[in-house]
Structures are given as structure tokens and as C-alpha cells.
Amino acid sequence: MATAKAHTNIALVKYWGKKDQDLIIPQTDSLSMTLDEFYTTTRVVFDPALTAEQITVNDQPVTGKGAERITKFLDIVRQMSGRQDFARVDSHNHVPTAAGLASSASAFAALAGAASRASGLQLSRRDLSRLARRGSGSATRSIYGGLVEWHRGHDDATSYAEPIMEKLDFGLEMLAIMINTGRKKISSRHGMQSSVITSPYYASWKEVVANDMETMKAAIQAKDIPAIGHIAEENALRMHALTLSADPGYTYFNNETLTAIQAVRQLRDQGINCYFTMDAGPNVKVIYDRRDRERIVDGLAQTFAPERLVVSPAGPGIEIWDENNRLI
């Protein structure tokens, strides 16, 4: 038995497209910040007495496609470890409000940590990030805290994450604007594949990312928050251009996403350095220097209820506990 806790991450230079869909080898490098406020804790027990996998998320049994994806992941762990038993998996997503910011990044990073340890494997952080990648691409980066780079690599051995700055020594912070949607979401898995195959802009996107990785790393070294925010915002808009330019075209934005973007731009027009980014959903995350936090929260609270604004500094990397509750 083992338990792991992993935090979610938000990409500043996005991953949007795979080269190998089975191994989850991405088309490009990417770079993210791990968030303190959003995390998943998962306990895994391999038990010879079980006749099927037993999976719960937030105390609710998981069946169907969700269970299949977890079992497929556990099969990889069984293959690596030689362990044959079914597993009991209990997972909890910790998000501050009802609006979902549960992510496959923290989920598969925590599952990788708990399942590998419970199966008897003792993987290095790098090998854990390779394993997490097999569950969900963005999970590769959630093994580490702070600012993290995922090297795209060219095969299973070379596609892994590495920390750029595990503990931030400057004021970079994010705020999530929780935007609810009733609409059925196009999964990032499906959406990004459609962009790779059908967007005429996909080749340019790869050049954009190569350039953004360089300028973003330089901005991080310089601790230049306006530069980090500006590059991240442009990168996010260009990623979302791949959804609009796919065939059929689609978007993750809704009306409130655009309202939030406008609110951030208005604050910027007032001289406050804040920038936005969005992933495969309508929520907007704001990037800024923590010393401007109050002014930004006050400004956004004119449009969004305070409980929908969740501030998060950078968070830590994965923590794993063994069967004796010892942190390893």
C-alpha cells in the first residue's frame, strides 16, 4: 500500500498535440507552474483477494471509461513490477470551491506515485515523470514543484520533466477565475489530436513553441514577471487559435471567458501588470506579481463573485508515503 499527493500545474508554454498517442510523446516541449491550491491525494493497495479493480474518486465509485483509463495505467505498473493483483484505488481531488479545476495532471501524477510504490517499485523522480506521462501528458510535469519543463524527447526514455526552479524566489503567482459551464467539453486528448491533423497552422505552432520556450526560460532567469505573463498570454491565445482553425472548428471559451479576458485587459490598461491563460475549458487563470494581488482581486471582484477567485502561489512536487506512513 502507498499514498501520494500531487499538485496540478498550469502551462505557461502549452502542450497541444502528440507525436505518439500510445506512449504520449508530445510534438513540442512545454513549461508549467505547479499550483499550491489544487491537488490530488491517492491511495493504492494491490490486493490478491480482489477479483476486479476497485476505484473511487471523492468517495464515489468510478466505472466505465474513467475506470478503463485507470486500469490501463495500472497495467503498465503491473508490467513494470511483475505484480499481478488487482488494486484498490481511492482518490480525492482538493479544489477550494465546487467549480471543477480537478485535473488529469494531479490525478495521474498521484496515481503514478502511489501505484508504483505500492507495487514495490522505487522509481526516481525522472522515471516517475515518465510513468505519469503514460496516464496524461500534463501529469509528466506535476511530479515537480515550482517551474517545470517537459522535454518532448523522441521515445519513452527521453520524454520526461525536469524542474527549472523548484522553489520560487520571486513573486510569480496565479489566480484562477472559476467559470462554470453546462456545455459538454471536448477532451484535451481529442481536441489536440484534431488540431494536429486538421489545423493548417499546426506547423507554425511548433515554431511558436520552440521560440516561446527560449524566451520564457530567459524571462524566468531574469525573474521578469511582465515578460513571463506576456509570453504565456500570447502562447495561450495561439494554442486556442489551433482549436478555432481545426476542422470542425471548436472553442473552449464561453461568454464568461471573454468577460474575464476583458477584465484582465482592463486592469492592465490601468497600469497593473497582469496576464491571462486558459486550458481546455472556460476557466481563466491570471498571472501576476504577488505584490499586486490585492488590487487584482479587488478589480476582478467587480465582475466575479469573490468565491470564484482563487489565489494560488507555486506549489511543491509529489510526496509519497509508504505502508508505514513514512514519507519517502
Distance CA 305, CA 22 (A): 41
Provide the 3-class DSSP secondary structure of residue 200: coil
Cα dihedral across residues 129, 135, 138, 142: positive or negative: negative
Under the binding rule (CB under 6 A), the answer on residue 104 touching ligand DP6 is yes
The binder of ligand DP6 chosen from 6, 7, 8, 15 (CB under 6 A) = 15
**Beta 147-151 vs 160-165: how paired, if at all?**
antiparallel
Under the binding rule (CB under 6 A), the answer on residue 24 touching ligand DP6 is yes
**Beta 87-94 vs 54-57: how paired, if at all?**
parallel
The residue sitting closest to ligand DP6, measured at its beta carbon, is 137
DSSP H helices, 144-186, are none
Q: Kindly indicate which of the ranges 11-19, 166-174, 284-292, 299-307 contains the residues binding ligand DP6, using the contact rule CB under 6 A.
A: 11-19
Distance CA 73, CA 80 (A): 11
Contacts of 126 (CB under 8 A, 6+ apart): 160, 161, 162
**Beta 2-13 vs 30-46: how paired, if at all?**
antiparallel
Under the binding rule (CB under 6 A), the answer on residue 223 touching ligand DP6 is no
Closest separation between CB of residue 115 and ligand DP6, Å?
A: 17
Under the binding rule (CB under 6 A), the answer on residue 189 touching ligand DP6 is yes
Under the binding rule (CB under 6 A), the answer on residue 231 touching ligand DP6 is no
The binder of ligand DP6 chosen from 4, 11, 118, 128 (CB under 6 A) = 11
Our CB check for ligand DP6 shows the closer of 102 and 296 to be 102
Distance CA 107, CA 115 (A): 12
Closest separation between CB of residue 14 and ligand DP6, Å?
A: 4
Closest separation between CB of residue 168 and ligand DP6, Å?
A: 19
Judge whether 114 and 44 are in contact, CB under 8 Å.
yes
Letters for 138-157 (x = contact with ligand DP6 by CB under 6 A, - = none) are: x-------------------
Under the binding rule (CB under 6 A), the answer on residue 136 touching ligand DP6 is yes
Residues that bind ligand DP6 (CB under 6 A): 11, 14-15, 24, 30, 104, 136-138, 188-189, 279-280
